[in-house]
Amino acid sequence: MEHRFVAATYYRSLGPHPAALHVAAGDTVITSTVDARGYDKDRQQVTPRGNPQTGPFYVEGAEPGDTLVVQLEKVQPNRRYGWCGSSVAPNVVDPTYVRELPAAPLAEWDVDTQAGTATLLSPQSNLGSLVLPLEPMIGCFGVAARGGQAISTATSAEHGGNMDYRGFVAGTTVYFPVYEPGALFFLGDGHAVQGDGEIVGSGIEISMDVQVTLDVQKGREIGWPRGENADWIFTAGNARPLDQATQHATTEMLRWLQQDYALDPLAANLLMAQCVRYDLGNVFDPAYTMVCKLNKQWLPPRT
Amino acid sequence: MEHRFVAATYYRSLGPHPAALHVAAGDTVITSTVDARGYDKDRQQVTPRGNPQTGPFYVEGAEPGDTLVVQLEKVQPNRRYGWCGSSVAPNVVDPTYVRELPAAPLAEWDVDTQAGTATLLSPQSNLGSLVLPLEPMIGCFGVAARGGQAISTATSAEHGGNMDYRGFVAGTTVYFPVYEPGALFFLGDGHAVQGDGEIVGSGIEISMDVQVTLDVQKGREIGWPRGENADWIFTAGNARPLDQATQHATTEMLRWLQQDYALDPLAANLLMAQCVRYDLGNVFDPAYTMVCKLNKQWLPPRT
Amino acid sequence: MEHRFVAATYYRSLGPHPAALHVAAGDTVITSTVDARGYDKDRQQVTPRGNPQTGPFYVEGAEPGDTLVVQLEKVQPNRRYGWCGSSVAPNVVDPTYVRELPAAPLAEWDVDTQAGTATLLSPQSNLGSLVLPLEPMIGCFGVAARGGQAISTATSAEHGGNMDYRGFVAGTTVYFPVYEPGALFFLGDGHAVQGDGEIVGSGIEISMDVQVTLDVQKGREIGWPRGENADWIFTAGNARPLDQATQHATTEMLRWLQQDYALDPLAANLLMAQCVRYDLGNVFDPAYTMVCKLNKQWLPPRT
Amino acid sequence: MEHRFVAATYYRSLGPHPAALHVAAGDTVITSTVDARGYDKDRQQVTPRGNPQTGPFYVEGAEPGDTLVVQLEKVQPNRRYGWCGSSVAPNVVDPTYVRELPAAPLAEWDVDTQAGTATLLSPQSNLGSLVLPLEPMIGCFGVAARGGQAISTATSAEHGGNMDYRGFVAGTTVYFPVYEPGALFFLGDGHAVQGDGEIVGSGIEISMDVQVTLDVQKGREIGWPRGENADWIFTAGNARPLDQATQHATTEMLRWLQQDYALDPLAANLLMAQCVRYDLGNVFDPAYTMVCKLNKQWLPPRT
């Protein structure tokens, strides 16, 4: 079944908030998200800033210990105006270099979904024109946090959240651990384009039209967000320092290989040894994100 | 001029060791490297283990404050036998998962440069056969360390060293800061294949035939290893935690853009904002390695 | 006014939960806390494990932007049975040492408040008898978290939480930033004794009788928990890695000196330079705790 | 035997440098050290800046795998002029606070060993007078580094080095692992006073008269610097982040308890559980230092 949903309320934490919509496992939700500062497709501020989330969507049958399956089917900017930070964040450069970072207003971009481009409009610098291909993605999404917590959309943890990973694009399937009845799925914080690490503290921030299909895997327990696309499976670890995020993502991948691909411990380790790849999610937010990947060509059939 | 060099001595630290060969700026060196445990192309141990290095090569005219330019022209395994660790390192997984890592002997690989493949021979697991394409790279190389230090080839710093980054393949040009007269260039620790992070503590370790051309940029001072290939420029930061390695690499890229591409500070920051990419070097050695990259398509002409 | 309060409900997150008791600024609350696993003074489990908290106490007049003042007047074990972990936590030792940590049941202690001692009862080892002086402290306490979050009592942040710092003993005054109307003060997780770092993941865990006086400083905004006793003022930073916790605590102290002691920036830095001391709170929980201290003998009069 | 030694050469790395003096195990060396910038007791610069070291002292009979025993018998400023940084280092505060750190010249102190005080002379601030009690200590000392390395006196590792720990005062016995024949002991970088963490990048830097007695424990292998005074035994871990320094120090203490105090693994863990204390060495240098301590009252007799 397909639901068209228009948000009346937005949330800035992922927790046990009242369900905005109940859907059945397998249903599709067509909705929209506002930008990180709460501005919608008409550039009207409809909610306070801070990665406000559309949702939560209550998926019937999802219970703690299950896995929520999210297919990102459409992730598309729904206006032309995008913005981003214009200075690398102090925590991403050497402490002694912080004083050399420029002070400047937010950068403004013209986002043209027809042309598939984002064009830098301001501020002025000697960079000249910069026209980038669009790669629309979801910066912050996930489920109600573990143990009844409500966790700010500024950060991320086992339940997902503000991972700011360039890989969360249309065509990706994402798996989240379920901690609350109905899972309570939220999404928001769309980026038309984003560099690795989100090192200026933002992608090209924009409101989006989105379509997701939500499903449940009963009795399948995972530890961290997982995902896959046509070519790769991946796991996301969220923590500081990045070393710990790397540990979480790597451990989760070792578990996945043994859980779903029938690899014995030695096989899982040998496969990872020379085939593993890592992508950097964010290095700006309170928790950093590291993604551990394996190309599907090296995987045995899933059991 | 072209030098064919056969090592008589190997070093396990990058420091002010006696020059093995003097070359002019622009000269080419054709030589070979032993594997991480000191075994040569005939599987004879010719020196103790620990990433033994061929060199150092003294480049005439290189002085502290200059930059050494290293063109990696050939990086090719010169035997069929390769080996690697078979268990992910304890520092790369969650502390509570360490006890679940398998204990196993080193894995053995058949490295076929004709076919361009590495085939896993042992140990036995339920992984079945694993045949990987060769991507031969240099694990450890660089120049004599800063301030008269001699730094172990187990680790890395501003002078390079054991970065274990998959991008150090033939066709790459690498830049190192010069700290000693003649720069004193070393190289070794070849990998036929390596996963990101070198998470088992080794790639497919193998002896290599190598060819490099060494040159000097007078009066150009850099802070960290830099490199480029056909499509990318990149900087490498080496430190723990990975957060700090990321800070070093990012800062070095900001400096490079302003130093060589005539970008003003705001332009450099704006370019990085949405175009930066990161690759993970090693997360196993005492210093971890993060690589910050920009695609050349976004760069203005070099000044 | 003095309130005697008996908890009917306990919380395992610090968030905007319904007030258990309303008190006026300046009132005293006399109550008790259960141990980390939810057991009370009669060793009955009255609530699930996970540092269950007594409260929240709503302090009339406290509003976001104010500071809550908590005087710890009594922190006293109210039973004889205490327990603690018997093995150092995997995240506190070298990754390669994890496999050498012993597996053992929880250690049991006889806590004698008359004698002022804790005596190790089990498990058996060749340590022989161990009798320690009591130093009763509060492991987890604080106010409702920032931005409407509900944060697990397993961890800590700006609002306090599971800091597990040995300095939170009777006679200490603690300051928390107020994020919710009424501040919503919680406390629990008493330790009869605790080593620095809480490296086995627990102190000698025990239920407590406690007395606190709660007050409000209107319009005084602080960034992190602060405290003082007869001799010291201190700030607590909570984060991972410990480096970041140290940054938070140090920055908060620099701010405090300028905010309340009329020191100019240079004076604050000069005073810290040679007089600062640090105590280690926990290095076990998701966020680590570092405490930055100054002895009152070096301080100018408070303004 | 007692040696009076006057340095002719100073070193800025701890490595296999030529012995300045050969001494027998058990001998005493009476010598002096210059300050961190190479100035001697007459405020003459006799060597370049960078924690220049007096030594190395070759201790007859010391071989790799042994332990060097250093008794710090005298650590006394030998001039009145001391200096220190006047601004907390950028890496010790929140990245967003770096821009608020004051810029100021080095602070100057009058060091009066008769009165036992250090008095702040400049720069001017509204701090007023600051007179601190002297606590003279050694900032940087140790032995030639592991594996033939020469490691900068800016940093520290298993061999000691620039730990900047307030506990290295007269009356302390320090143990270092021996990596080179003769151990090659160096010392320098005296501080008349120092705050925890050396957060301005310096203590009150001063030249010193020092007396040490050097001895060897044959066949006793240790992993990290250890020490003891009248009341405590302690271990020092040197690394970044501080979490890793903590892991090293904690692991080394667990090993020590089992190695020298005949505790079984469970006993060692139980003793540490509630009795461990930590001191913060430096959080400024490339490697940070954490010290793990146990009070001798809890220890069984040494075997």
Q: pLDDT tens, A201-215?
A: 999 999 999 999 999
Q: Are residues B142 and B288 in the same domain?
A: no
Which one-letter DSSP state was computed for residue A89? -
Residue B301: inside a domain: no
Quick one: average pLDDT of D291-301?
96
Q: Are B237 and B245 in contact (CB under 8 A)?
A: yes
Q: Are residues A71 and A147 in the same domain?
A: yes
pLDDT given for residue B268 in this prediction = 98
Would you say residue D80 has pLDDT above 90?
yes
Would you say residue A151 has pLDDT above 90?
yes
Q: Are B294 and B271 in contact (CB under 8 A)?
A: yes
User: How far lies C36's CA from each of A62, C12, C54, C109, C121, in Å?
Assistant: 30, 10, 12, 15, 19
Q: Are residues A172 and A44 in the same domain?
A: yes
pLDDT given for residue A302 in this prediction = 84
Which residues from C are below 8 Å from B when comparing CB atoms? Answer: 89-91, 95-96, 98-99, 241
The residue among A214, A209, A216 whose CA lies nearest residue A5 is A209
Task: Give residue D301's pLDDT band: very low, low, confident or very high (50, 70, 90).
Answer: confident
Q: Are residues A68 and A165 in the same domain?
A: yes
Q: What CATH number is associated with residue C155? A: 2.60.120.580
Residues of chain A contacting D95 with CB distance shorter than 8 Å = 89-91, 95, 98
Task: Kindly determine whether residue B99 and residue C96, on different chains, have CB atoms separated by under 8 Å.
Answer: no
User: In this predicted structure, which of A170-174, B122-126, B244-248, C197-201 has the lowest mean pLDDT?
Assistant: B122-126
Give the gap in angstroms from C-alpha A221 to the nearest C-alpha of chain D: 30
> What is the reported pTM?
0.98
Task: Kindly determine whether residue D265 and residue C100, on different chains, have CB atoms separated by under 8 Å.
Answer: yes
Quick one: average pLDDT of A46-72?
98
pLDDT given for residue A104 in this prediction = 84
Domain count, chain A: 3
pLDDT given for residue C301 in this prediction = 87
**H helices within A139-284, ranges in order?**
242-260, 265-275
Q: Where a domain ends, among A133, A153, A170?
A: A133
pLDDT given for residue D303 in this prediction = 80
Task: Give residue D128's pLDDT band: very low, low, confident or very high (50, 70, 90).
Answer: confident
- B132-147 as b/e: b if 16+ CB within 10 A: bebbbbbbbbbbbbbb
Choose the closest CB to D13 out of B12, B149, B152.
B149
Residue C238: inside a domain: yes
Size of interface A-B (CB pairs under 8 A): 198
| Backbone φ, ψ for residue D165 (5° rounding) | -105, 130
Quick one: average pLDDT of C40-46?
98
Q: Are residues C67 and C104 in the same domain?
A: no
Would you say residue B286 has pLDDT above 90?
yes
The 10s digit of each residue's pLDDT in D41-69 is 999 999 999 999 999 999 999 999 999 99
Q: Are D253 and D260 in contact (CB under 8 A)?
A: no
Mutate to test the interface with D, among C274, C279, C283, C292 (most CBs of D within 10 A): C274
Task: Give residue B210's pLDDT band: very low, low, confident or very high (50, 70, 90).
Answer: very high
CA dist B50 and B154 (Å) reads 7
The residue among A210, A78, A235 whose CA lies nearest residue A139 is A210
Q: Are residues C94 and C24 in the same domain?
A: no
Q: Are D41 and D32 in contact (CB under 8 A)?
A: yes
Q: Which residues contact A248 (CB under 8 A, 6 or more apart)?
A: A223, A224, A237, A238, A239, A290, B94
Chains that touch D (3 or more CB pairs under 8 A): A, B, C
Q: Are residues A145 and A269 in the same domain?
A: no
Give the gap in angstroms from C-alpha C97 to the nearest C-alpha of chain B: 9
Rg (CA), chain A: 19
Residue A87: inside a domain: yes
String of DSSP letters for D4-22: E---S--BSEESSPPPSEE
Which residues from A are below 8 Å from D when comparing CB atoms? Answer: 89-91, 95-96, 98-99, 241
Residue B302: inside a domain: no
CA dist A129 and B31 (Å) reads 46
Phi-psi region of C123 (alpha: psi -120 to 50; beta: other; left: phi over 0): beta
Mutate to test the interface with A, among B124, B244, B248, B274 (most CBs of A within 10 A): B274
Domain containing residue A211 = 2-78+137-217
Quick one: average pLDDT of D74-99?
98
The 10s digit of each residue's pLDDT in B135-172 is 999 999 999 999 999 999 999 999 999 999 999 999 99
Chain A residue with Cα closest to B288? A243
Residue B261: inside a domain: yes
Q: Which residues contact C24 (CB under 8 A, 6 or more apart)?
A: C1, C59, C60, C61
Would you say residue A226 has pLDDT above 90?
yes
Task: Kindly determine whether residue A241 and residue C241, on different chains, have CB atoms separated by under 8 Å.
Answer: yes
Q: Are residues A259 and A245 in the same domain?
A: yes
Quick one: average pLDDT of A26-33?
98
Task: Give residue C303's pLDDT band: very low, low, confident or very high (50, 70, 90).
Answer: confident
Residues of chain B contacting D240 with CB distance shorter than 8 Å = 239-241, 244
Quick one: average pLDDT of D245-260?
98
Residue A226: inside a domain: no
Residue C303: inside a domain: no
Mutate to test the interface with C, among B92, B99, B284, B285 (most CBs of C within 10 A): B99
The 10s digit of each residue's pLDDT in C138-196 is 999 999 999 999 999 999 999 999 999 999 999 999 999 999 999 999 999 999 999 99
Mutate to test the interface with C, among D254, D270, D275, D283 (most CBs of C within 10 A): D270
Q: Are residues C74 and C115 in the same domain?
A: no
CA dihedral A273, A276, A280, A283 (to 10 degrees): -30
Would you say residue C128 has pLDDT above 90?
no
**Summary mean pLDDT of chain A:** 97
The 10s digit of each residue's pLDDT in D22-43 is 999 999 999 999 999 999 999 9
Choose the closest CB to D244 out of B13, B151, B240.
B240
Chain D residue with Cα closest to B14? D149
Task: Kindly determine whether residue A89 and residue D99, on different chains, have CB atoms separated by under 8 Å.
Answer: no
pLDDT given for residue B83 in this prediction = 98
- Tokens representing B44 are 């004879």
Instruction: Tell me the three state secondary structure of residue C67.
Output: strand
Residues of chain C contacting A151 with CB distance shorter than 8 Å = 149, 151
* Residue D126: CB atoms within 10 Å: 12
Chains that touch C (3 or more CB pairs under 8 A): A, B, D
pLDDT given for residue B301 in this prediction = 87
Q: Are residues B71 and B141 in the same domain?
A: yes
Question: What's the half-sphere exposure (Cβ side, CA atoms, 13 Å) at A217?
Answer: 13
Q: Are residues A114 and A168 in the same domain?
A: no
Would you say residue D245 has pLDDT above 90?
yes
Residue B47: inside a domain: yes
Q: Where a domain ends, among C98, C133, C168?
A: C133
The residue among A294, C75, B33, B179 whose CA lies nearest residue D150 is B179
Would you say residue C239 has pLDDT above 90?
yes
Which residues from D are below 8 Å from A when comparing CB atoms? Answer: 89-91, 95-96, 98-99, 241
Quick one: average pLDDT of A183-211?
98
The 10s digit of each residue's pLDDT in C282-297 is 999 999 999 999 999 9
Task: Kindly determine whether residue B148 and residue D239, on different chains, have CB atoms separated by under 8 Å.
Answer: no
Task: Kindly determine whether residue B95 and residue C96, on different chains, have CB atoms separated by under 8 Å.
Answer: no
The residue among A213, A221, A205, A166 whose CA lies nearest residue A185 is A213
Q: Are residues C61 and C163 in the same domain?
A: yes
Would you say residue B79 has pLDDT above 90?
yes
- Tokens representing C190 are 């008493």
pLDDT given for residue C129 in this prediction = 81
Chain B residue with Cα closest to A193? B274
- Please state whether the peptide bond connecting residue A16 to the residue before it is cis, i.e. omega within 30 degrees of 0: no
Quick one: average pLDDT of D210-227?
98
Chain A residue with Cα closest to B119? A274
**Summary mean pLDDT of chain B:** 97
Helix H or strand E segment including A11: none
Q: What CATH number is associated with residue B248? A: 3.10.28.20
Mutate to test the interface with A, among D98, D243, D244 (most CBs of A within 10 A): D98
Give the gap in angstroms from C-alpha C79 to the nearest C-alpha of chain A: 29
Would you say residue D20 has pLDDT above 90?
yes
Chain B residue with Cα closest to C91? B95
Q: Where a domain ends, among B186, B217, B248?
A: B217
Size of interface B-D (CB pairs under 8 A): 43
- A142-171 as b/e: b if 16+ CB within 10 A: bbbbbbbbbbbbbbbbbbbbbbbbbbbebe
Number of alpha helices (DSSP H) and beta strands (DSSP E) in chain B? 2, 21
pLDDT given for residue C104 in this prediction = 84
Question: Residue D105 burial (CB < 10 Å; 0-12/13-18/19+)?
Answer: exposed
Choose the closest CB to C274 out of D100, D132, D264.
D132
